[in-house]
Amino acid sequence: MHKLARLLERLGQSSKVNQLYFDEARRGWYNRYQRLSETLRDEFAEPDENEREMNEYISYHAFAANLHECSIYPASPTFAIWALRKALEMKHEEGRMRDTHVLAAAQWILWNGQSLFMQVRYPGDVGPDDKQNWSPGDLYDGEPLPTLHRWRFWSTRFREFAQQVHAVSDECKTVAAKAADMMDSIERNMTF
């Protein structure tokens, strides 16, 4: 998946695969992969409770995280926040569907964690639409922003899933532990 994202990154630098737009001052810019972006947003839907769709959901998040890490799109934490909110800020019934959400959210940390943390530390301009899109789930009582407090909440929740004895699959425990460890490492070691 990472190689495909890198290929798209390189292709996106070509004027042959991008739409050229001009503003009033005749300054041109390319709109990279507009249709792919629309499709990614449309495909963000909840998976059905069958093995194939749940695996595709996890792969979708890994691919989307890779695209964001390769800067295919302008930096925005929206998709990551949606996945992390769904998995870590909301209550779920025990079972495979909950594991699926945790595994999908972990992909954003494993593939896009450093960039996401930079957005946590330096969020840039945040508009009302962003705050609405980033609204917290029931279990999180903080601001609707990608803050250090929220980052630490997510890390703690990953750690909780990693340490559960019976309610979570072994795969989910392992991946949740990796995500929590990576979050701790990123926070501890990234200096700006």
Give residue-wise pLDDT tens across range 133-148.
Answer: 999 999 999 999 999 9
Write down the domain spans for the chain. 33-189
- Burial of 99: CB neighbours in 10 Å, binned 0-12, 13-18, 19+: buried
What is the 8-class DSSP label of residue 47?
P
Q: What is the pLDDT of residue 173?
A: 96
Rg of the chain's alpha carbons, rounded to an integer? 17
Amino acid at 43: E
Residue 56 pLDDT > 70, yes or no?
Answer: yes
Instruction: Name beta bridge partners: 85.
Output: none
The model carries a pTM of 0.84
Point out the least confidently predicted range of 35-44, 60-69, 169-178: 35-44
**132 contacts 144 by C-beta, under 8 angstroms:** yes
Residue 28 pLDDT > 70, yes or no?
Answer: no
Return the percent helix, strand and coil in the chain, to nearest 5: 60, 5, 35
144 in helix, strand or coil?
Answer: coil
- Burial of 136: CB neighbours in 10 Å, binned 0-12, 13-18, 19+: middle
Point out the least confidently predicted range of 31-40, 101-110, 158-167: 31-40
Nearest to 180 by CA among 166, 161, 192, 189: 161
